[in-house]
Structure 1
Amino acid sequence: MSLVLTQNNDRILTVSLNRADKKNALTLKMYAQLANILKAAAEDDTVHVVLLKGEGGCFSAGNDISVFAQRDEGDSISDIVAFMNALLHFPKPVVAQVEGVAVGIGTTLLLHCDMVYCAPATQFCLPFINLGLVPEYASSYLLPRLAGRRKASEWLMLGEMFGAEDAYQFGVVTAIEPADTLGEKVMSVCKKLASKPVFAMTHTKKLLNTEKEVIQQQINEELDVFLEALNTDAAKEAFDAFINKRPLNTEKFK
């Protein structure tokens, strides 16, 4: 069974995270699949729009913590970087359908989508600080510009859950839709986008995204610190406590 499903209908490529038993937590293999799917879709004239969603009533619980906890220093995270770059530079509209939870990269990847619709009960979280880590995917650059420095600091420095209303008010999502009509609303938006002139659409997106170089630089700088943080005692303690479901020894956070 594939952990990432695709379906191309009426010029809309639906990409579904298919690991519902783990709340669609992302593995390195899933990142590689997503990167390859986006690269292929960018060159596929039958794809005008990408719809990104999660199966099982959940968007994504973020990275599979066990992947990083068991990571050796020599292990590559090139698949994650490949996905980040593929989405950042994707030339066509990307629409996200979000419900359940969007944790870590489950939230930060939304900052690189063109439109995001969520259900009212959706919970978002940027828990990097609680794992001894730092923000990623240019979230430390984009969130202050969307939500303001104060709200971005609250989300990134406390690492606590926040709801759909906050996400909407501070620009992380386009709109909140009733859970029972969310899929219908998102598909309606995708069909409208797919019917627009391709040249005008791709160039409109290009003209809107004027800060790609700065965003790419921030991604690279965050990644350097992120990799360094993975090897700290704080991160190792946080991962071990999470996996073994035990209390944190905060003495190792000093």
Structure 2
Amino acid sequence: MSTIQIKDEQGVRIITINRPEKRNALDLEMYTALREYLIQGDADNAINAFLIKGQDDCFTAGNDVADFLKNSDLGPEHPAFKFLFSLLDLKKPLIAAVSGAAVGIGTTLLLHCDLVYADTTAKFQLPFTNLALVPEAGASLLLPHLIGHQKAAELLLLGESFNAQTAKSLHIINDCVDPKLLFDTAFAQAVKIAAKPPLSIQATKALMRPDKALLHAKMTAELTEFATRLQSDEAKAQFKAFLSR
């Protein structure tokens, strides 16, 4: 069964991360599939919005560490690199439904979404410094812009987990709902958006975005530093400890 599944319904492309045995950890093939499904949907006139979700108990635990370390050359052709930059070019709205763990990319991805809904089981974490790394996906720019420097520093420097109520208070998510209502809530909002004049929606999304050139430059700088940190002795020690758990 595919680890990334899609279903197109009522003008919405529903993308499901489906690797429960690995807590939906993303490997390189999954990054490639995510990017391809977004690009295809963006070019399909029958699709007017995206909804990304995980399982009922996990959005994604972040990168598949073992797979990532085997393919750690973060050049422009790296699947994770290409997926992250495809988010900058996405014309159509992206909605997320988050349940359970949303670690690393599971949280930074949300900064590129237009609407985010989480349930009461959701746990967010930006553990980059815990692994002797730095943020990615433009988080070092987007998060301070969204929640202010001090709160962003708290999340990025301490790397501690936080719940959905905290995420809502920080405006990282739109709302926190009962787990039984999560998908229906997020899907209903996606359908509402998909039913509106698409070019107007796309133009409005584009106007609300941060400066694209600035964000592109920040993401490139993050990935350059990320690649450097990944080869450092302190990162190797942290990953060795992580993998031996």
Q: TM-score, normalised by structure 2?
A: 0.96
Tell me: CA distance 1:200–1:135, structure 2 relative to 1, closer, same or farther (3 Å).
same
Instruction: Decide whether the 8 Å contact of 1:51 with 1:94 is kept in 2.
Output: yes
5+ long unaligned stretches in structure 1: 246-254
CA-CA distance at 1:133 after TM superposition: 0.2
Partner SS for 2:58 = coil
Task: Report the Cα distance in structure 2 between the residues aligned to 1:75 and 1:194, rounded to whole angstroms.
Answer: 35
Q: Does 1:239 align with 2:226?
A: no
Q: Name the SS for the 1:240 alignment partner.
A: helix
Please say which structure displays the higher CA radius of gyration. 1
Query: Which residues in structure 2 correspond to 1:200-239 (within 5 Å)?
Result: 200-239=200-239
| Per-residue CA distance 1:93-136 (angstroms, 9 max, x = gap) | 11000010100000000000000000022100000001110011
SS of 1:55's partner is coil
Q: Secondary structure at the match of 2:60?
A: coil
Which residue does 1:85 correspond to in 2?
Answer: 85
Q: Distance in 1 between matches of 2:74 and 2:216?
A: 23
Deviation of 1:22 after TM superposition, in Å, equals: 1.0
Q: Aligned-residue CA RMSD in angstroms? A: 1.5
Distance 2:25 2:31 in 1: 11
CA contact (8 A) 2:135 2:156 kept: yes
Which amino acid in structure 1 is aligned with residue 173 of structure 2? V
In 1: Cα distance, 2:46 partner to 2:180 partner:
29
Which AA in structure 2 matches 1:139?
A
Tell me the number of residue pairs that the alignment of Structure 1 and Structure 2 aligns: 245
Runs of 4+ residues over 4 Å off in structure 1: 72-77
5+ residue gaps, structure 2: none
Find the aligned partners of 1:209 and 1:154 in 2 and give their Cα distance.
Answer: 24
SS in structure 2 at match of 1:52: strand
Counterpart position of 1:104: 104
Cα-to-partner distance string for 1:188-224 (whole Å, 9 max, x where unaligned): 1011011100111111111111411111110000010
1:161 aligns with 161
